[in-house]
Every structure is written in C-alpha cells, then in structure tokens.
Chain A
C-alpha cells in the first residue's frame, strides 16, 4: 500500500543554518503531497503542498518540490529560526481511496 518515509529526528541546527528534511513516498497513481507542522502544544497545520509532478510548494521560507522520478518531497529552508522548532510531518493523499498517509514526523530543534 501507499506509504511515506521521512528522516528520523531529532534534527538539531543552529539558527540561520540550512535545513533539509527528507521525505520519500510509495504510491500508485498520482498522489498529492503535503508538509504539516506541529508547534509545541498545538495540533498540526498545513505548511505547504504540491498536487502534481514538478510543482513546488512554498510557505514561510520553506520549500518542497514534487519529484516523481525520485518519489521525493524534501523540505528545505535556507535560514532557520528558533521559532521553526517543531515537529514536521510529510503526508500524501491518493485520489484512489480515502486515505491520508502521514510519515512518522521529524522533530526539529533550532538553537539560538
């Protein structure tokens, strides 16, 4: 079945460092891909999404490109801030069925 694999955390970086969180997926058909973010004590909220190959989602300085050839949707940010400390979830939805599949989440710590 469909699945999402993302890099295990925690990831610890210094402020202003470059961030990459890897995400790869397995799916038949043409899934939509998402990154959700969970700040401490809160629910998940959508960070960005892409619905077809080569689409780039972007928000709050974060970017991810839908790469069908490598089945990947890596999250990047050029210069992280302490306020980016959170748990990040990669996810996909398939138009074949009703399932939304989440990765296990990657905890990000940004040090001042």
Chain B
C-alpha cells in the first residue's frame, strides 16, 4: 500500500529535550516536506526537500532541522524544543513539486506537546 508514515503519532516532551519525528514514504517520491498545523493559521511549511541531500527552508523553519540522506526518509529534528512548537505536524511527499497538478500525499500526523 502506498503511504507516508510518521512516528511517533503522539509525543509529550519537556522544553530543551531533543527529539526526532520520523517520516518515511514507499512511493519513490522525490519531493518531501514538513508542515505544522495550528488553529487559525492553517498549514505552514517548515522545510522541504527536492531530492536526496537537497533541502530548503519553508515559511517557518526556525527551531527545526531536517536531513535527507535517503530518498524514502525525511526526519524532522527539534534540537531544543520550546512550548511554541506545540503543534500538529504533517509530513508529505509527491513525485515533484509545483508542476502540472501533482498530488501531495500526507502522513497521518504527529501531535507534539512541549511542556
């Protein structure tokens, strides 16, 4: 089954404790991205990756890191989480970005609470 998986689905942590949210896709997609969803603000892109070893900042990259060492994986790293990073996070992938109506495939989401 074609899918994007994220782990963990739920996480409660404390300020300053480094964490990683994993994302994996099995569709051989080149493009992957991370979003956060907050009430009243919709979806905001954190980082994206056009292919292996190619990453770039989205609209709200502060406090986050990513890496793309393999095509299928795109982990999101919070080196020192803060309460304002409490949010619902989504990973997404597609064949490419921007052109000709390409569909984004989304993971199920990770609900993060930083105390």
Question: Shortest distance in angstroms between A3's beta carbon and chain B's nearest beta carbon?
Answer: 11
| B100 x A51 contact (CB < 8 A) | yes
Chain B CB within 8 A of A99 CB:
yes
Bitwise interface map of A from 35 to 63 toward B, beta carbon under 8 Å scored 1, else 0:
01000011111100111000000000000
Q: Is the CB of B40 within 8 A of A104?
A: yes
Are A98 and B50 in contact, with the CB atoms below 8 A?
Answer: yes
B: interface residue count bin = 20 to 34
Q: State the CA gap A42–B107 with chains docked (Å).
A: 8
- Check B90 against A97 for contact (C-beta < 8 Å): no
Q: Contact at A42–B108, with CB atoms within 8 Å? A: yes
Residues of A within 8 A of B4 (CB): 43
A89 interfacial contact with B, CB 8 Å:
yes
Q: Is B106 an interface residue (CB 8 A)?
A: yes
Q: Is the CB of B101 within 8 A of A34?
A: yes
A102 CA to B92 CA, complexed, in Å: 13
Q: How far is the CB of B30 from chain A (nearest CB, A)?
A: 11
Chain A residues closer than 8 Å to B99, beta-carbon distance: 93, 95
Instruction: Say yes or no: B42 contacts A102, CB within 8 Å.
Output: yes
Give the docked Cα–Cα distance between A104 and B45 (Å). Answer: 12
Which of A32, A42, A103 touches B100 (beta carbons < 8 Å)? A32
**A76-112 contacts to B (CB < 8 Å):** 89, 93-100, 102-105
A44 touching B104, Cβ below 8 Å:
yes
